[in-house]
Structure 1
Amino acid sequence: MSLKWDSELDELRTRRRNEIIKAARKLFLKKGLPKVTIRDIAREVGVSTVTLYKYYKSIDEIASEVKRQLLFEMKPFFKGVSTEIPAYEHILTWLQQWNTYLIEKDDHLRFQASFDLYYPKQIEQVYYLDLIRISGESILKMFEKGQVEGSIRTDYTANELTAWTFNNLLGVVHRVAARGSLLEEDFSLSTEKMMEMTIESIVNYIKKS
């Protein structure tokens, strides 16, 4: 009887935690991370804040869980390229896949941009790099492959090129997701054009001349 009771309690805890994350995610994506409170989440779930704190210690813990969930959902946008093409072209395709992700999931990227601003040490960029791969290979390995093939410049190490590429790309992607309409007003330049120019500048820089 005790084992059955324990099992039912575990199921209830898991279900309630999932309800909290689902509600928090909905609010974060709709209102933005800084504008959501524990009280808002509790109200959305239909429980008291006291009850909510039994499952999560803080809104920071909830935000971290939502961030991990969104990161894992990025995987389908970065599918491998089946044809035998140089590493340089694999990298170009990967950059273009980021543009697709931005178009279809801009609300996810707005949340990620806010999260990285408020919690800069919670999820390291190496975690992104390990998760978002190029045709199944780590980004670093793809740059190393390109240097061996002769399609990627060699005056910088593969690690340096990986860091430069990823940070430049993510910086623009996050800014466009968070402030796209304002940027278009300020500079009379569409966000689509900004992304096109960013990708072009990156591939031109990393390509061996």
Structure 2
Amino acid sequence: MGTKWEQELDQMRYSRRKQIMDATFELVLEKGLMDITIVDIVKKAEISRVTLYKYYNSIHEIVFDIQLKILNELSELLDERLKGKNGLEKLKDYFATFITMFQTHPDHFRFAAIFDQYYQSSYPTLELEERYQSYTKQGIVLIEQIIDEGIHDGSIRKGTDPIMMAQILSHITMGTTQRIAVRSEIYKTESKVDSEEMLNYLMTFLASSLAADQPQ
């Protein structure tokens, strides 16, 4: 445990990073990633360029920190739900977590969609790539473990490939939620169904399609 001065310094650093990340988050949602600059960020955060460069070397580093923060919030929400249940129930809770996050933080998915589109073919540095992929792999492994557990406890169909299905479910859940979040205003006028109802229907369908026909 550090001294009071060290704790205050850590808190100041955390607050400053949060200030920079919050400003960048808002700018990305307003203008996209192509059109924001360091000048935009320091103006939005009401800090100097010198201060920003004490914490970040590039916009990419800020954006990746925001994306990882979003994924971490999703992970923490999952940790609260996935306790003491069989595989299928955990899978349902996994799906429900996306719906809850969509209800409470739809802009998280809007940001993630912009992030994925901007970095669709490559990452800016090897360090950021390794850091990000290390985190995303944890999410895929979690789904694999849930499916494998469900196969063994008899709640999920035998013959399901945990590795293949984990990839499929990850793309479907994240991709669909991102698209709905990005086009939420348009869906209100062009779609005959409510966005949340659509997500609920999809998640229920996915869970039922993987459920074992009969208890083992």
Q: Shorter-normalised TM-score: what interval?
A: 0.7 to 0.9
Q: Which runs of structure 2 are paired with 1:187-206 in the superposition (5 Å)?
A: 187-206=191-210
Q: Which runs of structure 2 are paired with 1:150-189 in the superposition (5 Å)?
A: 150-189=154-193
Give the letter aligned to residue 135 of structure 2. Answer: Y
Give how far 1:167 is off. 1.1
- The aligned residue for residue 152 of structure 2 is 148
Q: What do residues 165-197 of structure 1 show as CA deviations (whole Å, max 9, x unaligned)?
A: 111111111111111221332232210121022
Structure 1 unmatched ranges of 5 or more: 1-6
Give how far 1:67 is off. 1.4
Structure 1 position 72 matched with structure 2 position 72: yes
CA distance in structure 2 between the partners assigned to 1:132 and 1:140 by the alignment: 6
Q: Which runs of structure 2 are paired with 1:39-118 in the superposition (5 Å)?
A: 39-49=39-49, 52-53=52-53, 55-78=55-78, 79-83=80-84, 85-118=85-118
Give how far 1:202 is off. 0.8
- How many positions carry a matched residue from both structures? 194
- The aligned residue for residue 21 of structure 1 is 21
Partner secondary structure for residue 183 of structure 2? helix
User: What TM-score do you get using the length of structure 1 for normalisation?
Assistant: 0.77
Q: Which runs of structure 2 are paired with 1:119-158 in the superposition (5 Å)?
A: 119-120=119-120, 121=123, 122=129, 123-124=132-133, 127-128=135-136, 130-131=138-139, 138-158=142-162
CA distance in structure 1 between the partners assigned to 2:137 and 2:101 by the alignment: 16
Structure 2 unmatched ranges of 5 or more: 1-5, 124-128
Asked if the contact 1:75–1:132 (Cα under 8 Å) also holds between the matched residues in 2, the reply is: no
- The aligned residue for residue 3 of structure 2 is none
CA distance in structure 2 between the partners assigned to 1:190 and 1:109 by the alignment: 17
Q: What do residues 143-167 of structure 1 show as CA deviations (whole Å, max 9, x unaligned)?
A: 1111112221233311111111111
- The aligned residue for residue 3 of structure 1 is none
Evaluate the alpha carbon distance shift between residue 130 and residue 17 of structure 1 in structure 2; reply closer, same or farther with a 3 A threshold.
same
CA distance in structure 2 between the partners assigned to 1:18 and 1:90 by the alignment: 32
Asked if the contact 1:21–1:62 (Cα under 8 Å) also holds between the matched residues in 2, the reply is: yes
Q: What do residues 29-82 of structure 1 show as CA deviations (whole Å, max 9, x unaligned)?
A: 5x2543533221111233454664564332122111211222222234221344
CA distance in structure 1 between the partners assigned to 2:200 and 2:54 by the alignment: 47
Partner secondary structure for residue 81 of structure 2? coil
CA distance in structure 1 between the partners assigned to 2:170 and 2:196 by the alignment: 19
CA distance in structure 2 between the partners assigned to 1:86 and 1:51 by the alignment: 49
Asked if the contact 1:112–1:174 (Cα under 8 Å) also holds between the matched residues in 2, the reply is: yes
Give the letter aligned to residue 116 of structure 1. Answer: D
Greater Cα shift, 114-123 or 166-175: 114-123
CA distance in structure 2 between the partners assigned to 1:206 and 1:127 by the alignment: 26
User: What TM-score do you get using the length of structure 2 for normalisation?
Assistant: 0.75
